[in-house]
Amino acid sequence: MTRSDTTARQRREAWGSLRKLPSKRWQARYTGPDDQTYSARTEDDKPLTFLTKGDAREWLNGVHAAISRGEWLPPAEAVRRRRAAAKAAAARDVTFREYAERWLERIATEPGKGGKLRRPGTVLAYRGRVRNYLMAPLGDMKVREIDAERVRALVIKLVAMPSVLKEDARHNGIAGDAVDVLKMILRAAVRDGLLAKMPDVPTPTRKSVRHDDAHTPEDDVATPTQVDALYEAVPELWRIAVLFAAWCQLRRGEVLGLQRHDIVWNSDRTAATLYVRRQKNGSTGKLTDPKSDSGLRSMSVPPLMIERLREHLDQNVGRGRTAPVVPGGVRGNQYLSASRWNGIWAAARGAVAGLPDGYRFHDLRHTGLTRIAQEGATLAELMRRGGHSDVTVVLRYQKATMARDIELAARMSVTAGEEIRLEEARIKSGGHNVG
């Protein structure tokens, strides 16, 4: 070996140090620009040793060159940056399927805009829209590749889908809801940095699946006689639900969630106040708070249904305070399920003449609120009795009194009862008008 070779070799080895370990492998160490001493480590920050001295020297020379170029970083910082870059690259390549599933998990546990957790039924509905309408066309696509053109094409397909509820319907009733959920997911992706900007695509117009364009809300208002016929068409154990929906204007979940102690009688059981404190969730089957804070309310039970309610409680409802008012069985402790009630309702409405096709149980609530409005109820009184939340602020300043509520319920009972009496008398007289 020449002198010049020996000198060069000593220079190279003068920077850093090489050490043979008891395992016969070689360790490389060096002092960094920060005056700290470092041992060789892998890119994932694990100890690194070498099979030969030459391999160790080559690695050490590579570190020396990086320092000379100003590219050196402390090993821990280098690992942190590599991991961050890998995470960012993986995020950029995340598919809609992966991100949508993460989004669904997130909304189930994080508060919404109002600071409250979303209801299980809401999360379940979102999950159904994602899996039934969005996964197939978008699932394998990278989120960063979803743009306005792709979303528009999807909207066109969704709008063109046939309705699963009504074969000859002009609209399917799901396009608007599915696109709304898609937009929520894409907005979240923009906030998370996975999507450059939100695609500018309008939500399809929501139109009724059950009715044509000539249908008006007034068409869904049943007459008192039809309400009475629906009551008679439902099996005795559950028919009180019809009166709660029509004359107390309750939602289905509120009816199915009623308990015995929610009905408070006067001393001789000739009048009662109804308290709405909960609902039975149609998706999860669990008892939850009402739909909104305004859903917690009390109201006068109309005299029109007092006798029937009293008989129902005495004959069909358990004695316990929390016994369900609409039980699964006579005096049972099990609540009637929404799916079972839907079957009961479908059979009952088919037995009543003059109702629109597909008449909904919820339309009875619309019927009752319309009758209350016809008796002169103010907007605040209507919202209070119906438990609506969109005028909560107004209700803080303009509260309907219970006395007024009792008066309205009584007046509605008189007019509705009179219509029933006249109709029955007309039928008995052979169809002639009765004065």
What does the alpha-carbon distance between residue 239 and residue 243 come to, in Å, rounded to a whole number? 8
Q: Are 280 and 387 in a shared domain?
A: yes
pLDDT in tens, 49-58: 999 999 999 9
Give Cβ neighbours of residue 318 (< 8 Å, ≥ 6 apart): 260, 324, 327, 331, 332, 333
Q: What is the pLDDT of residue 414?
A: 92
Residues 262 and 405 in one domain: yes
Residues 48 and 121 in one domain: no
Residue 164 lies in a domain: yes
User: Given this model, what pLDDT does residue 134 score?
Assistant: 95
Specify whether 277 is located in the same domain as 411: yes
pLDDT value of residue 83: 86
* CATH code of residue 298: 1.10.443.10
* pLDDT at site 12: 44
Query: What is the secondary structure of 109-123 as a DSSP string?
Result: HSB-TTSSBPPHHHH
Query: Cβ of 111: how many Cβ atoms within 10 Å?
Result: 10
Query: CA 353, CA 409: separation in Å to the nearest integer?
Result: 26
Q: Which SS3 state, helix, strand or coil, does residue 431 take?
A: coil
Q: Name the β-bridge partners of 279.
A: 288
CA distance 414 to 261: 27
Q: What is the pLDDT of residue 3?
A: 47
Note whether 245 and 303 are same-domain residues.
Answer: yes
Dihedral sign (CA 106, 111, 117, 123): negative
Whether 412 maps to a domain, the answer reads: yes
Q: Which residues of the chain have pLDDT under 70?
A: 1-14, 89-91, 163-172, 206-219, 390-404, 431-435
pLDDT of residue 397: 33
Distance, in Å, from the CA atom of 152 to the CA atom of 258, rounded to the nearest integer, reads 45
389-414 b/e with 16+ CB inside 10 Å = b?
eeeeeebeeeebeeebbbebbebbbe
Label residue 216 left, alpha or beta by phi (over 0 means left) and psi (-120 to 50 means alpha).
beta
pLDDT score of 394: 35
- Same structural domain, 187 and 291: no
Residue 221 in tokens = 């208002």
CA distance linking residue 328 with residue 231, whole number of Å? 17
Average pLDDT, the chain: 86
Comparing CA positions, the residue from 252, 220, 230 lying closest to residue 350 is 230
Residue 280: give the domain boundaries: 218-428
pLDDT of residue 4: 47
205 within domain boundaries:
no
What is the C-alpha to C-alpha distance for residues 359 and 221, in angstroms, rounded to an integer?
10
**Do 378 and 272 reside in the same domain of the chain?**
yes
Q: What's the pLDDT score for residue 428?
A: 87
| Pair 48, 174 in one domain | no
Same domain? For 271 and 123 the reply is no
In a domain, 137, yes or no: yes
114 domain-assigned: yes
How many residues would you count in the chain? 435
Give me the helix-helix angle, 402-428 and 224-233, nearest 10°: 80
Can you give the pTM of this predicted structure?
A: 0.63
Asked if 105 and 188 count as a contact pair (C-beta separation under 8 A), the reply is no
HEC readout, 180-244 = HHHHHHHHHHHHCCCCCCCCCCCCCCCCCCCCCCCCCHHHHCCCHHHHHHHHHHCCCCCCHHHHH
In angstroms, the first-to-last Cα distance of the chain is 132
33 phi/psi in degrees, rounded to 5:
-60, -20
Residue 203 domain flag: no
Whole-number CA gyration radius for the chain: 36
**Together in a domain, 240 and 374:** yes
Structure confidence at residue 189 (pLDDT): 93
- Three-class secondary structure of residue 319 per DSSP: coil
Residues 116 and 187 in one domain: yes
Is residue 44 included in any domain, yes or no? yes
pLDDT value of residue 86: 76
Number of domains in the chain: 3
- pLDDT, residue 208, reads 59
Q: For residue 271, give both structure tokens.
A: 């009048």
CATH code, domain carrying 157: 1.10.150
CB atoms within 10 A of CB 262: 19
In a domain, 167, yes or no: yes
SS3 state at 354: coil
Dump pLDDT digits (tens) for 355-398: 988 899 999 998 998 888 878 788 778 888 888 776 553 344 34
Same domain, 172 and 300: no
Q: Classify residue 315 by burial, with Cβ atoms within 10 Å: 0-12, 13-18, 19+.
A: exposed
